[in-house]
Structure 1
Amino acid sequence: MKHGMAARGAVAVAALALCGCGSSGGERAKDTGSGGKADAGPAAPPAEEIRAVKAPKRFSTDRAVVLPASAGAGNVAIAGVQHPLPIALHKGVAYIARPDGLEIASGYVPSDPVLITPRREPLARLDDLGPMVGGNTAREPLVTEHGGTTLVLSALVGRVPGSGTAKGHDALELMATDTAQGTKAWSVEIPLAEGHYSVREGQSEVVGRSGGTVVVMGHGQLFGVDLGSRRTVWSAPGDFQEGAVLAGGTVVGLRLDEDGTDRRVVGLDPATGRQRWSEPRLAAERLYAAGPETVVASGYVTDDSDDGALLLDAASGDRVRQFPEDAATDGECAYDGVSTTVCTYFDQVSAYDAATGEQLWALPDEAGTRTAPEVTLVREGLVYGTTENGPVVVAAATGEDVETRPGIAPYVSDGYVGIALAEEDHAVTAYRTRD
Structure 2
Amino acid sequence: MLVAVTLVGSMLAACGSADSSQPAGGVSPAASTSAATSRPVDDPPAKFATTGAQMPDGLLADILDLENRLVGPPAVTLYGGTAYVGAFDHVQAIDTTNGHVKATIEPAGKALVDGDGTKHKAGAPAIVAISDKPALLTPFPVDQSGTGTQASHKAVEITVSDPDTAKVQWQVTLRLPEWADEPNVELTATAVGANGSTGVVTVSNDNSHAVTYGIDLTAHRQTWVQDGFAATGIAEGMAVGWSTEHYEVHAAGHDAASGAPRWQGQSMVSQTVSALGPHFVLLKGRAWGSEKPYLQLLDPTTGKTKQQPPSQLSKGTCVYDEKSAIVCGGTGAGTDTATTFGLDATTGKTLWQLPDKQADRIAPEITTAWHGMAYGKTAKGPLALDARTGQDLPTSPQIAPVLVNGSAGLALAKVDGVNTTLLVYPAIR
Quickly name the TM-score band, shorter chain normalised: 0.7 to 0.9
Give yes or no for the alignment of 1:121 onto 2:110: yes
CA 1:329–1:61: 2 relative to 1, 3 Å: same
1:202 equivalent in structure 2: 187
Deviation at 1:207, TM superposition (A): 1.0
Distance of 2:425 and 2:77 partners within structure 1: 15
Of the three residues 156, 162, 168, the one matched with 2:140 is: 156
Deviation at 1:401, TM superposition (A): 1.6
Distance of 2:360 and 2:120 partners within structure 1: 39
Partner amino acid, structure 2, of 1:138: A
2:347 equivalent in structure 1: 356
Cα deviation digits, residues 196-237 of structure 1 (max 9, x gap): 99x972122111110000111012111100101111100124
Deviation at 1:430, TM superposition (A): 2.1
Give yes or no for the alignment of 1:416 onto 2:407: yes
Tell me if the contact between 2:17 and 2:103 (Cα under 8 Å) persists in the aligned partners: no
The 5 A counterparts of 1:36-75 are 48-61=37-50, 64-69=52-57, 71-72=59-60, 75=63
The 5 A counterparts of 1:114-263 are 114-124=103-113, 137-147=121-131, 149-195=133-179, 201-219=186-204, 220-240=210-230, 244-257=232-245, 259-261=246-248, 263=249
1:90 equivalent in structure 2: 79
Of the three residues 361, 369, 381, the one matched with 1:378 is: 369
Tell me if the contact between 1:103 and 1:114 (Cα under 8 Å) persists in the aligned partners: yes
Deviation at 1:433, TM superposition (A): 1.3
Q: In terms of mean alpha carbon deviation, does 82-91 or 67-76 score higher?
A: 67-76
CA 1:396–1:200: 2 relative to 1, 3 Å: farther
Partner amino acid, structure 2, of 1:212: S
CA 1:118–1:146: 2 relative to 1, 3 Å: same
Partner amino acid, structure 2, of 1:374: E
Aligned with 2:155: secondary structure? strand
Cα deviation digits, residues 296-319 of structure 1 (max 9, x gap): 3234668x9997433222123343
Tell me if the contact between 1:104 and 1:113 (Cα under 8 Å) persists in the aligned partners: yes
Deviation at 1:295, TM superposition (A): 1.4
RMSD: 3.6
Partner amino acid, structure 2, of 1:48: T
Give yes or no for the alignment of 1:9 onto 2:9: no
Partner amino acid, structure 1, of 2:177: A
Give yes or no for the alignment of 1:311 onto 2:297: yes
Tell me if the contact between 2:15 and 2:106 (Cα under 8 Å) persists in the aligned partners: no
Deviation at 1:193, TM superposition (A): 0.8
Tell me if the contact between 2:119 and 2:186 (Cα under 8 Å) persists in the aligned partners: no
Cα deviation digits, residues 239-281 of structure 1 (max 9, x gap): 43xx621111211121122x222x2232211111012233358
CA 1:387–1:146: 2 relative to 1, 3 Å: same
2:334 equivalent in structure 1: none
CA 1:330–1:210: 2 relative to 1, 3 Å: farther
Partner amino acid, structure 1, of 2:18: G
Q: In terms of mean alpha carbon deviation, does 188-197 or 101-110 score higher?
A: 188-197
Q: In terms of mean alpha carbon deviation, does 309-318 or 389-398 score higher?
A: 309-318
Distance of 2:151 and 2:49 partners within structure 1: 54
Partner amino acid, structure 1, of 2:165: Q
Q: In terms of mean alpha carbon deviation, does 90-99 or 417-426 score higher?
A: 417-426
Of the three residues 420, 426, 429, the one matched with 1:432 is: 426
Cα deviation digits, residues 28-50 of structure 1 (max 9, x gap): xxxxxxxxxxxxxxxxx996232
Distance of 1:193 and 1:305 partners within structure 2: 33
CA 1:107–1:251: 2 relative to 1, 3 Å: same
TM value normalised by structure 1:
0.78
Cα deviation digits, residues 370-421 of structure 1 (max 9, x gap): 4333322121122211221111112222222214521111122220111223
Q: Which runs of 5+ in 1 are unaligned?
A: 11-22, 27-44
Aligned with 2:178: secondary structure? coil
Aligned with 2:168: secondary structure? strand
2:283 equivalent in structure 1: 297
TM value normalised by structure 2:
0.79
Deviation at 1:142, TM superposition (A): 0.8
Tell me if the contact between 1:162 and 1:169 (Cα under 8 Å) persists in the aligned partners: yes
Tell me if the contact between 1:92 and 1:107 (Cα under 8 Å) persists in the aligned partners: yes
Displaced runs of 4 or more, over 6 A: 281-284, 304-307
Distance of 2:168 and 2:82 partners within structure 1: 16
Aligned with 2:122: secondary structure? coil
Of the three residues 303, 306, 310, the one matched with 1:320 is: 306
Tell me if the contact between 1:74 and 1:135 (Cα under 8 Å) persists in the aligned partners: no
Deviation at 1:342, TM superposition (A): 2.0
Partner amino acid, structure 1, of 2:147: S
Tell me if the contact between 1:341 and 1:353 (Cα under 8 Å) persists in the aligned partners: yes
Partner amino acid, structure 1, of 2:264: S
Tell me if the contact between 1:213 and 1:227 (Cα under 8 Å) persists in the aligned partners: yes
CA 1:310–1:135: 2 relative to 1, 3 Å: same
